[in-house]
Amino acid sequence: MREKLVLLAQRLVSEEIAPENFQGEIIAIFEQAQAACVRQFPRNAQPSLTDQPPTARAGTTATLFLRIKNNCWIINLGDSRTIVYDRDNKWLAASEDHGFDKDTIVAMRKQGYLVDESAVPLGGSVYGGLHWDDGGEDTFGVSHAFGHSSIVLPTSIELPNGHVGLLCVPDVQGPFAMADVLHVVVCCDGVTDSFPDSSKFLPTVLEGPQAWVKAAYEQASSKGDNISLIHWDLTKRELS
C-alpha cells in the first residue's frame, strides 16, 4: 500500500491525475487493500479462537493525511480519525468516525445485507475488519472498517477468490490549504471508544512527544486497546 500511495502522490504532483479523478484513485487503493485482507482469511478456514488471533472480531481501519504541495486531503475509513490544529489555535476533527447507526442499518438491509440489529451497538463501539459468523453457515462477514461484525452477508454477494464480504469506500475530503495547518495528528483504531472526546488528549500534543504520547497511551489503554498515532508538527518542518 505504501508503494501505491507514493505512486499516487507522485502522479498528483506531476499532474498526471486530474483532481476530479483523485477520489477514484484513492478508493481503488483501499479496495485493493481490502481484497488483500479478504484473501488472508479463506472462507472455509475459520480459526479457533483459543489458539489463533481473535479473528472473529478482527478488523482493519485506516486514516490517511495526504499533502500535495500546498494542499492536503483527508482520507478516512472506519474507526480512525485525522485531527488538525489550525492557526486559530483550534483542534478540528478533519474526518468523521464511521459510526453504525439506524440509517446505516436501513441502507444495508435495502442492499440485501442481513443485520442483527440487537447485536449492533448503536452510536459507537465500532471496530474494524473481518468476521466469520460462527453461529450459522460458513458465511464470511466484514466488520466496521469494511463492514461490521454484526453484519452477515448473503452468500449471493461474492468477492474475488470465492470470498464473501462487504466493502466500504473511504471518505475523501479536500483539498484544503496547508497554510492554515500547524499540527496534524492521525489516530488509528479504537478512537471512537478511546477518544470520544479528544479535548483531554489533544492539548498535550503541544507540550511535546513525551506528554502527548503518554496521554494518548493512557487513554487508549484504559479501554484495553492499542493505538497508533502520527503527529506532524509543521512549525518544525524544514521542508517548505
Partner 1 sequence: MFLFPFSYTNCRSYLPAAAAITPFVGLVAYVAQSTLKSNAIKAPSLKLFAATVASSLALGYLTRLALSYLQAQPRELEQQPPQKETVSIGLDRMACELFKCTTDSGKFPDKVFDVEVQTSSGITDVHTTGPELKYQEDSTVVVQTRDYTILGVFDGHSASPESDIKTPPASNSLNLLKMK
Q: Which of residues 197-226 bind partner 1 (CB under 8 A)?
A: 209-210, 213-214, 216-218, 220-221, 224-226
Handedness of CA 228, 1, 6, 10 (dihedral sign): negative
Rounded to a whole number of angstroms, the minimum distance from the CB of residue 95 to partner 1 is: 11
Q: Which residues, 6 or more positions from 216, have their beta carbon under 8 angstroms from its beta carbon?
A: 187, 201, 204, 227, 229
**How many chain residues are in contact with partner 1, going by CB under 8 A?**
96
Per-residue x/- mask for partner 1, residues 110 to 129, rule CB under 8 A?
A: -xxx--------------xx
- The yes or no reply on residue 238 touching partner 1 (CB under 8 A) is yes
Residue whose cell numbers read 479496495? 31
Segment interacting with partner 1 (CB under 8 A) among 114-122, 133-141, 184-192, 195-203: 184-192
Handedness of CA 108, 192, 171, 157 (dihedral sign): negative
Segment interacting with partner 1 (CB under 8 A) among 58-66, 85-93, 116-124, 195-203: 58-66
In angstroms, what CA-CA distances link 221 with 25, 48, 185, 230?
35, 26, 18, 17
**Residues, the chain:** 240
Q: Is 147 exposed, middle or buried (0-12, 13-18, 19+ CB in 10 A)?
A: buried
Q: Which of 17, 22, 55, 94 binds partner 1 (CB under 8 A)?
A: 55
Q: Is 159:187 a contact under the CB 8 Å cutoff?
A: no
Segment interacting with partner 1 (CB under 8 A) among 116-124, 132-140, 196-204, 231-239: 231-239
Which residues inside 64-103 make contact with partner 1, applying CB under 8 A? 64-69, 72, 78-80, 96, 98-100
Which residues inside 1-20 make contact with partner 1, applying CB under 8 A? 1-2, 4-6, 9-10, 12-13
